[in-house]
Amino acid sequence: MNKSTVRFFGLPAVLALTFSMALTISAEATRSVGTLETKAQHDARMQWWRDARFGLFIHWGLYAIPAGEWGGQTNYGEWIRNNAQIPLKTYDKFAARFNPVKFDAAAWVKMAKDAGMKYIVITSKHHDGFAIFDSKVSDFDVMATPFKRDILKELATACRKEGIKLCFYHSIMDWHHPDYLPRRSWEVKDRPEAGANLERYIAYMKAQLKELLTDYGDIGVLWFDGEWENTWTEARGRDLYAYVRSLQPKIIINNRVGASRTGMEGFSAAKESAGDFGTPEQTIPATGLAGVDWETCMTMNDNWGYNKNDRAWKTSRDLIQKLADIASKGGNFLLNVGPTSEGLFPGPGVERLAAIGRWMKANGESIYGTQASPFKNLAWGRATQKAVVGGVRIYLHVFDWPKDGKLVVPGLLSDPRRACLLADAGKAPLSWTRSEDAVVLKIPVAAPDIDDSVVVLEIAGRPDISEPPVIKSDLDIFTDFIDVDVASAQANVEIRYTLDGSVPMVGSPLVKGPVRVTGTTVLTTRYLWRTP
Ligand code: FHN
């Protein structure tokens, strides 16, 4: 006789039906604008970037000379010319002082590589219009300084030698070129808009991009920025996207090439918008978006460009956990340094890169080439996963190491084939037991890593993760009654519910269809799973 047993487990999902506005959340996915590219071709072009997961952002230019200080104020960054309202002629004088004699491209690339980073995005030109490369179409470039060395050429050589992808940040907005519009409002008198011709500026910008995409080898990413002013449009962005791809067809371009980005969350509103990935800035999305590529860019302190007084450095623990958090949502992490006017990374930045590198040396496998977590959330940390032969490897990133020697993994219905500590060279197996819908791993009392200890689970096939029943309610404001739909993607389950906030048990009412609620209440649902 088929013996069926009812296992008491499941996850309560709670919806407080109170008088509050219904929530509607939507975020359109962004994809690259049509360049007649098939999905397979797009995926092939994105693959190295998706596998990389971690890159270095570098903001470097004339603004490193004032280093955040002007007129007695010390809180400026790379926006100093605009925010301190420095007249063009005064700002241009910094060019005569730009001489970063301690710049060493090989040292920079080694620090990035040792930190576990796979690509470098450096400002070829920021909003101030100054080019840190030898541009034949501008005299506002590094060759007009005492330094007279093509910084990007030296960086390209060092990156090629170390197998690091070189990428360029290029600002569409330009506070220096006479044809860029609009002008800064505070300087319209000194620099009237009369005679300016935006089309001429765009031709100039394309000419510099042609130099960058012709003279420096294969470039991984063109990271546009400064696209938010009213003269830039999605149509211009599509044209620029196609132009850049015509010069280097395999290049990847961010969504700031167009004009569809919705603020600092970084995703594009339009379904088919220009750009290959979203660019959340100084923020990590609450969840990733299935099928959408995105990269969080973030400073290590409070400034992108060097500010000698900025001591608000994030801890290496925080940065390591941010890297794991971002990867657990399927995103990339672009972490910034702002070098000094001498050409050095600030000391605290060097220390943090080294600390992250030590962690990545032991745990990089749990970041590179991984996909988003199979779990909705884990109280003690995050998870990433990677397809392996015959199944999936789940990497549990434990930020808060349990003191009782037990790591509870809720909702994992698949039995792990194997478990071990990633940092354990011998990969000694960890034992585990099952408790309701959770796998309970027996772990050492001491955490292998104080910031993020990684436990690896080998799962055959696709992991079977239990998700709480979904309570669907478009509105939660009602008068007489409301009928609430309850569903579960889990097979072999029956859903039971209560209306008094208690956890449903075997004898609780069964969900047989919409649940009728006739007053302010708490609907709690739970499923009970039956072994076939
Ligand atoms: O204005 C820039 C800023 O200077 C910096 O380059 C950041 C980095 O992504 N982007 C813009 C602000 O959103």
Distance from residue 82's CA to the centre of ligand 1 (Å): 13
Considering only CA atoms, which residue is closest to atom 1 of ligand 1?
226
Distance (angstroms) between ligand 1 centre and the Cα of 126 equals 9
Residue indicated by tokens 């010390």: 74
Walk along the chain (532 residues) in steps of 10 and give the mean pLDDT of each run: 31 39 26 66 97 99 98 98 98 98 98 98 98 98 98 98 98 98 96 97 98 98 98 97 97 96 86 91 91 96 98 98 98 98 98 98 98 93 97 98 96 94 96 89 97 98 85 79 83 82 85 88 76 48
Distance of CA 435 to the CA centre of its chain: 35
Which of 408, 428, 460 is the last residue before a domain boundary? 460
Kindly report the CA angle at 180 between 175 and 185, in degrees rounded to 5? 60
In this structure, the answer to whether residues 118 and 248 fall within a common structural domain is yes
In ligand 1, which atom is closest to the CA atom of 336? 8
Q: Which of 366, 397, 419 finishes a domain?
A: 366
Locate tokens 């609907």: which residue? 523
| Final residue belonging to a domain, choices 340, 366, 392 | 366
357 and 393 belong to one structural domain:
no
Is residue 250 domain-shared with residue 393, that is, in the same domain?
no
Same domain, 436 and 491: no
Ligand 1 binding site (Cβ under 6 Å of any ligand atom): 78-79, 225, 281, 297, 304
- The ligand 1 atom nearest the CA atom of 305: 4
Atom of ligand 1 nearest to the CA of 173: 1
Locate the ligand 1 atom nearest the alpha carbon of residue 79 and give its number.
Answer: 4
Same domain for 336 and 454?
A: no
By the 8 A CB rule, do 376 and 410 touch? no
What CATH number is associated with residue 123? 3.20.20.80
**What is the CB neighbour count within 10 angstroms for residue 320?**
24
Instruction: Choose one of 80, 227, 281 to mutate for the ligand 1 pocket test, by most ligand atoms within 8 angstroms of C-beta.
Output: 281
Domain presence at residue 32: no
Would you state the pLDDT for residue 530? 54
Identify the three-state secondary structure at position 319.
Answer: helix
In this structure, are 456 and 478 located in the same domain? Answer: no
**Domain annotation covers residue 252:** yes
Give domain status of residue 30, yes or no: no
Q: How far is ligand 1, taken at its centre, from the CA of residue 298, in Å? A: 10
Beta strand pairing call for 391-398 and 381-388 = antiparallel
Measure 487 CA to ligand 1 centroid, in angstroms. 44
Rounded to 5°, the CA angle 196-199-205 comes to 100
- Give yes or no: residues 298 and 424 share one domain: no
Task: Please check whether residue 450 lies inside any domain of the structure.
Answer: yes
Domain total of the chain:
3
CATH number at residue 404: 2.60.40.1180
For ligand 1, the distance from its centroid to the CA atom of residue 225, given in whole angstroms, is: 7
Say how many Å lie between the CA of residue 130 and the centre of ligand 1: 15
Task: Kindly give the distance from the C-alpha atom of residue 297 to the centroid of ligand 1, in angstroms, as a whole number.
Answer: 9
509 CB-side CA count, 13 A: 15
What's the CA-to-centroid distance between 414 and ligand 1, angstroms? 44
Look at residue 466 and tell me if it is in a domain. no
- Tokens matching residue 333: 């992490």
> Tokens representing 375?
């779990």
Does 374 map to a domain? Answer: no
The closest residue, in CA terms, to atom 5 on ligand 1 is: 304
- Among 124, 168, 304, say which to mutate for ligand 1: greatest number of ligand atoms within 8 Å of CB: 304
d(CA 363, CA 66): 39
Q: What residue has token string 């330094």?
A: 147
pLDDT number for residue 18? 29
Are residue 448 and residue 361 in the same domain, yes or no? no
DSSP string computed for 155-213: HHHHHHHHTPEEEEEEES--SS-TT-SSPPGGGTTTS-STT--HHHHHHHHHHHHHHHT
Tell me if 373 is assigned to some domain: no
User: In 320-363, which ranges are E strands?
Assistant: 332-337
- 522 shares a domain with 393: no
**Domain, as residue range, for 445:** 381-460
Does some domain include residue 323? yes
Are 230 and 138 found together in one domain?
A: yes
Q: How many CB atoms lie within 10 A of CB 281?
A: 18
Whether residue 207 sits in one domain with residue 62:
yes
CA distance 62 to 305: 10
169 CA closest ligand 1 atom index: 6
pLDDT of residue 291: 84
Give the number of the atom of ligand 1 that is nearest the alpha carbon of residue 279. 9
- pTM, two decimals, is 0.88
Do 419 and 346 share a domain, yes or no? no
